[in-house]
Amino acid sequence: VTPQPGQPIIDELRQASNELARRGGGLLHWWVTAPSPEHEQAAEAAGFNLYRRLHRMERPLPVTDEPYDLSWRPFRPGVDDAAWLEVNRLSFSNHPIQGTMVQEDLDRAKVDPTFDPEGFVITSEGGQMTGFCWTKIHHDAKPLVGEIYIIGAHPNCQGRGLGRALVLAGLNWLHGQGLTLGMLYVEANNDPAVRLYLRLGFEIVHDFRCWRCKVEAA
């Protein structure tokens, strides 16, 4: 849903709901950057419920004051797929989207122009994958921006500082490609992750909210 300039938000939401109803119904999502009380009121009036809150966090590169010790290798497409999907599923078992990724989703991601296995950090112990940090470089941004796209650790390895080390490995790889700005998106209610990123020098620069409405077929 993208309200047009000069058009009341509530009218645009209702129009979108009516259009989806004519097409057979389904779930309607409304993402808003820098939400205001006006957005909240419009969402409530149109029958939308708050679904997700995201922070965009940024920090300059390089990271020079955070030592870490981590042995890692790049992701191997076609070889690491199954193991990665399993660790990803376990890492994001409570996430509304990320934890449900399947091979078809990963295959689509691997043909995206931003996919670079060299910047897809993988850690393992005893031949078993323990964690990962998937990075992306956004070449259309000025200046170039490096993203910590997805980061996860096997539940058996959590609480050992692996997440912190993975973030730093990803950021340092991005800086090695000549980037001076790193960023990521995080669920606003993921308090442990937000605290970690704040400790690592990230700052919240944008707040996003997603409202959702179930629309019945007309």
pTM above 0.85, yes or no: yes
List all residues 6 or more positions away from 60 whose beta carbon is below 8 Å from its beta carbon: 180, 181, 182, 201
Q: What pLDDT was estimated at residue 3? A: 53
What is the DSSP-derived secondary structure letter of residue 155? G
d(CA 214, CA 30): 12
Q: What pLDDT was estimated at residue 69? A: 86
Under-50 pLDDT residues of the chain: 5-6
Q: Strands (DSSP E) along the chain, which ranges?
A: 26-33, 49-60, 73-74, 120-125, 128-138, 145-153, 181-187, 203-215
The CATH class of 62-179 is alpha beta
CA separation (Å) from 107 to 86, 93, 99, 170, 183?
A: 15, 21, 16, 22, 24
List all residues 6 or more positions away from 154 whose beta carbon is below 8 Å from its beta carbon: 87, 90, 91, 128, 129, 130, 131
Residue type, 129: M
Q: What pLDDT was estimated at residue 187? A: 94
Instruction: Give helix then strand counts, H and E, for the chain.
Output: 6, 8
Helix axes 81-91, 103-110, angle to 10 degrees: 110
Tokens 């909210």, located at residue: 209
Residue type, 29: H
Where along the chain do its domains lie?
Answer: 9-53+209-215, 62-179
Q: What pLDDT was estimated at residue 6? A: 44
